[in-house]
Amino acid sequence: MIQKLKKLFADSAERSANPAERIEVATCVLLLEMAHADRTLAVVEERLIEKIMRHQFDLSEEAAAELVELARTEQEKSVDLFQYGRQIHENLSRDEKQQVMRNLWRVIFADGVMDMYEESLARQMTSLLRLTHREMIDAKVAAQKETTISGGD
């Protein structure tokens, strides 16, 4: 799988890989970006991102870890998030985009602290995903309830 994913971003001018794989990488990049918004990557955030990738895309632990590493490389090379938001917006349903937003909020709440930079980035991601303010708030509330009930992970 990692070889297919590496091919995905090998040549940004000619992306011929499976659209589903591009969505996986785009989603993971946005989650990683959110985890880094407060300038620290907590272990609990990293584990949560892998868990989200496993569940959302039905990946094995190994495949999810490889996806996170590829997304991390992609994130480091990236100058903006627009391309990833566009990829998600153009290929996912409104419900699926709302799930991405809930997962972004789950990452924010994972370490028990909501930083002002994380909240600001959540608002930017709402715009990137073409969601409404109400949808962002609904996702935030749902993730907050889930985090309270499950204890963060």
CB 24 within 8 A of CB 57: yes
pTM: 0.83
Query: Tell me, what's the pLDDT at 61?
Result: 94
Amino acid 6: pLDDT: 52
Burial of 144 (0-12, 13-18, 19+ CB in 10 A): middle
How much is the pLDDT for 39?
A: 87
Predicted local confidence at residue 2, as pLDDT: 58
pLDDT digits (tens, 9 = 90+) for 64-105: 999 999 999 998 888 889 999 999 999 999 999 999 999 999
Q: Domain 18-150: which topology? A: TerB-like (1.10.3680)
Residue-level pLDDT at 69 = 94
pLDDT of 151 reads: 54
Q: Is the dihedral of CA 14, 19, 24, 28 positive or negative?
A: positive
Interacting residues of 86 by C-beta distance below 8 A, sequence separation 6+: 128
| Domains in the chain: boundaries | 18-150
Low-confidence ranges of the chain (pLDDT < 50): 9, 11-16
Residue 147: the pLDDT is: 78
